[in-house]
Structure 1
């Protein structure tokens, strides 16, 4: 287990925050109305578009206030994260209002990677990004997407250096994060950063203890608006930097594949499978580390219980969808974690063959070069043990059995 190492000045800020709370001063505001006003004032824009994001905003803010046990610094982080999402939403809606050309370029047959967390999706995303015909959303353009990136400056945009500086600052606070998750301004980024603009993102539940928000997200949130915004965001990114094919990745899609397919009916789905207990352990460890930046009291056992419930619910929902036949066999390919790590290029070739996509030798050479120069195995060397989660092994094995039997997922040692 890793914890954030806060510098002295932030520790003092948190101590001051505790003192102020004793006299009723809460620190950085997480009031939804305040956040909306401030986002409008910062951007000088007023139109947030459809109101379907407001329930998520209200639910998240209430959960942060009542359940997250945020420090003073944690409140600042949460406030900044929500404001960033709201400001980007305002800018995206404005872009489509003033430039009708944006809506003229369709998103056709995107290749979308999903599955249980920590099952090789980042490695696969990185490999597919080496094909010049593929476009992956990069961290820098997801963080600062306005104005839209241009082909001629795509590798030299000043925003790249800015995001790299921000990531270095984050690593100073959490030096072990680079062992848990690959980071970099020009690395592929997950779609949860896009759906955050609709306040429907699993990221919030990883960064903060917000169980009531997570329950709302999984059981009551309407993801149609989130995927409409997702579609528009990709149109915006490709406006001045065209692409043959988008390659996207998020474990979060697993929970909402039906809504995704309504917005992207021709999507090509790659679903990665792994023993869910390994996923729960890794996800709990990452969550513990990230939450320690915003709270003094992250609880690994509480995190593991919630994450186990979350993964079990997602897999149960996905299993019912797959058994229903709603997702045609020609639109989905099942991949196992063990295959990605033992024969990654063979997996890539299977994907291209299954979806009848051309794969040039130059693209394969680029993928091999990436494997030769990057140690992806390091991100699977976490120092965690299932016993530390407080979960009951046999009980967890029973509830994941239908999923593992159906997809023939091999059991791993935990």
Structure 2
């Protein structure tokens, strides 16, 4: 039996379901498995993690398609004018997303429902769903395996999360290279993959989550959006964008170190130079494509946020963002946001320390490579 067939059969056996939906996902799956098998240098734990992640995503896909088959009215849901947070990673976008998610008038994708979207959540039990506790246990296991993750990405089961995993249900996502050394897959993803079907699948999942659990004013966040902004725009043509900015010397090495922490359990020979290279490439492609998109008549759809002033006091910026959106910044929303910020101080779990040189990354080189970006958006250079 083929590798792909075996993985699919495991998902079928675990769910009792058979319909994976549109077969277009197979190209990404086949490329991922080929790259992982040939290039990832997996140890035994890594092999189990690699196969287990793929089977899990296939299972979720089967469950999603089953709900749509039994309830075709889900597809009648509309995703209207979402706000999408994008830009380079490690630029304060996670904190921004969490703060935005405190507004009771908006909808975010939270960790527990992203990991387990089926059955689709219901408004009456949204804050008591048993999947919350399940996700909390999984996050404790993550903290045991990768203890520095708390410093890098402090998060809970109910925190807003990126839709990287949701993109993974179509097997076209950066979520895989964050944990595994897969250069040929990354090359295909960055340069040749068609992301429009994947973003359509993301919309399919959003409709499912919104169906029994409004509101429908979505706040989404994903650094990957930057690199595939043209495909994203085809699927969400009425989206507005919030772009976060920070000195690349404080960004690219931090992302490389985050990847390193996630790679370590899966291989006995983490490839630090590749982790540096792949994140420089991602950043360069993302910012080049983003600037081209903005300069092609889309600049008015963007609201820009710089890291240091937002970290110091986010509320003047948030008030301007709500004005940009034409929405009311209610006292209740502001009070909840202030409470979240007080309970989640920066470096709550310790400061994230890293050395860019370990990944072949040097401040002067990075600033020169990304000069086109920092000058375009007047990004301050220096420690923050």
Per the normalisation by structure 2, the TM-score is 0.96
1:117 aligns with 2:92: no
In the TM superposition, structure 1's runs of 4+ consecutive aligned residues that sit over 3 Å from their partners are 377-380, 392-395
What pairs up with 1:26-175 in 2 under 5 angstroms?
31-175=3-147
What pairs up with 1:216-365 in 2 under 5 angstroms?
216-325=188-297, 327-329=298-300, 331-365=301-335
Deviations 1:375-399 (A, max 9, x none): 1344793211233332344433222
* Cα distance in structure 2, aligned partners of 1:309 and 1:104: 38
What pairs up with 1:180-195 in 2 under 5 angstroms?
180-195=152-167
2:372 equivalent among 377, 384, 402: 402
State the secondary structure of the residue aligned to 1:376. Answer: coil
1:386 aligns with 2:356: yes
Q: Which runs of 5+ in 1 are unaligned?
A: 1-28
Question: Is the deviation greater in 31-40 or in 400-409?
Answer: 31-40
State the secondary structure of the residue aligned to 1:228. Answer: helix
* Change in CA separation of 1:379 and 1:113 when aligned onto 2, cut-off 3 Å: farther
2:229–2:289: 8 Å Cα contact kept in structure 1? no
State the secondary structure of the residue aligned to 2:332. Answer: helix
* Cα distance in structure 2, aligned partners of 1:392 and 1:282: 12
Question: What is the Cα deviation at residue 368 of structure 1?
Answer: 0.8
Question: What is the Cα deviation at residue 300 of structure 1?
Answer: 2.3
1:114–1:269: 8 Å Cα contact kept in structure 2? yes
* Cα distance in structure 2, aligned partners of 1:108 and 1:376: 33
* Cα distance in structure 1, aligned partners of 2:349 and 2:325: 29
* Cα distance in structure 1, aligned partners of 2:37 and 2:105: 45
1:366 aligns with 2:303: no
* Change in CA separation of 1:30 and 1:111 when aligned onto 2, cut-off 3 Å: farther
* Cα distance in structure 2, aligned partners of 1:101 and 1:209: 40
Residue in 2 that maps onto 1:204: 176
1:133–1:243: 8 Å Cα contact kept in structure 2? yes
1:118–1:279: 8 Å Cα contact kept in structure 2? yes
1:30–1:65: 8 Å Cα contact kept in structure 2? no
Q: Which runs of 5+ in 2 are unaligned?
A: none
Question: Is the deviation greater in 373-382 or in 291-300?
Answer: 373-382
RMSD: 1.7
Question: Is the deviation greater in 217-226 or in 372-381?
Answer: 372-381
2:35–2:183: 8 Å Cα contact kept in structure 1? yes
Look at both structures and tell me which one has the larger radius of gyration over its CA atoms: 1
* Cα distance in structure 2, aligned partners of 1:152 and 1:190: 24
* Cα distance in structure 1, aligned partners of 2:171 and 2:88: 22
Question: What is the Cα deviation at residue 49 of structure 1?
Answer: 1.6
1:181–1:379: 8 Å Cα contact kept in structure 2? no
Give the length in aligned residue pairs.
384
* Change in CA separation of 1:401 and 1:376 when aligned onto 2, cut-off 3 Å: same
Question: What is the Cα deviation at residue 244 of structure 1?
Answer: 3.9
Per the normalisation by structure 1, the TM-score is 0.89
Deviations 1:250-291 (A, max 9, x none): 111111111111111111110111122211111011111110
State the secondary structure of the residue aligned to 2:265. Answer: coil
